[in-house]
């Protein structure tokens, strides 16, 4: 019973003490609130820092893409030299850019296209070559005169004409694989002229 009485007296003393000095309780609450505010502030600062780092990474990736694009433009030579000046301004209608147009023969065209995902890309097309798609099913077909040029036929009509990219070696369009292949893999594949070479 004396044990019970000791606990009871201790509880009474604690209650009296807390009522005698309520400022200590308020001080503890204020310290706790201040700590919570500091934690929230630190979390906000960390989130802002993470957002800034993400934006910097995205900007660096964009710069790397622009650098690669510039290198690719240089490799394509005189046909696509003025690409940066030829891009349409925002809100302007998209019109194909024709460079070095020749009356008889192929010439490059750059056309801005919007993909299914909404991304804007520039297609490097070829103009000045007629191709009969009337007897061909929908698909891609190699040109009869230039082995590195191929045509997109859709429902019997010619839609677009492409050229295989320059990648340091001669390439040709293979109608079997429907891809641009390296000529050194099949020397007899390109007995006709090449547009670029």
The answer as to whether 30 is a domain residue is yes
| pLDDT of the residue at 178 | 92
What's the rounded mean pLDDT across residues 33-40?
A: 79
The answer as to whether 6 is a domain residue is no
The answer as to whether 135 is a domain residue is yes
pLDDT band, very low/low/confident/very high, at 22 (cuts 50, 70, 90): low
The answer as to whether 36 is a domain residue is yes
Q: Are residues 153 and 107 in the same domain?
A: yes
| pLDDT of the residue at 40 | 83
The answer as to whether 13 is a domain residue is no
Range of the domain at 47: 26-75
Q: How far is it, in rounded angstroms, from Cα 4 to Cα 175?
A: 98
The answer to whether the pTM exceeds 0.75 is no
Name residue, tokens 């019997």: 156
Q: Are residues 60 and 107 in the same domain?
A: no
Q: How far is it, in rounded angstroms, from Cα 94 to Cα 159?
A: 17
Q: Are residues 117 and 146 in the same domain?
A: yes
Total domain count for the chain?
A: 2
The answer as to whether 108 is a domain residue is yes
The answer as to whether 181 is a domain residue is yes
**Predicted confidence (pLDDT) per residue in 50-101, tens digit:** 888 888 888 777 655 554 555 444 444 443 343 334 444 444 444 444 444 4
């Amino acid at each position: 019973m004396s044990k019970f009485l000791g606990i009871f007296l201790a509880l009474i003393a604690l209650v009296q003490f807390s009522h005698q000095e309520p400022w200590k309780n308020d001080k503890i609450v204020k310290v706790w609130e201040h700590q919570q505010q500091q934690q929230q502030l630190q979390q906000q600062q960390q989130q802002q820092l993470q957002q800034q780092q993400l934006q910097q990474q995205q900007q660096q990736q964009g710069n790397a893409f622009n650098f690669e694009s510039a290198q690719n433009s240089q490799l394509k030579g005189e046909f696509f030299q003025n690409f940066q000046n030829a891009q349409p301004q925002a809100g302007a209608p998209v019109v194909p850019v024709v460079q070095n147009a020749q009356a008889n023969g192929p010439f490059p065209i750059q056309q801005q296209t919007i993909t299914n995902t909404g991304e804007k890309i520039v297609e490097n097309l070829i103009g000045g070559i007629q191709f009969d798609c009337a007897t061909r099913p929908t698909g891609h077909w190699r040109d009869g005169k230039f082995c590195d040029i191929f045509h997109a036929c859709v429902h019997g009509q010619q839609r677009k004409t492409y050229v295989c990219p320059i990648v340091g070696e001669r390439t040709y369009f293979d109608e079997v694989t429907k891809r641009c292949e390296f000529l050194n893999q099949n020397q007899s594949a390109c007995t006709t002229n090449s547009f670029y070479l």
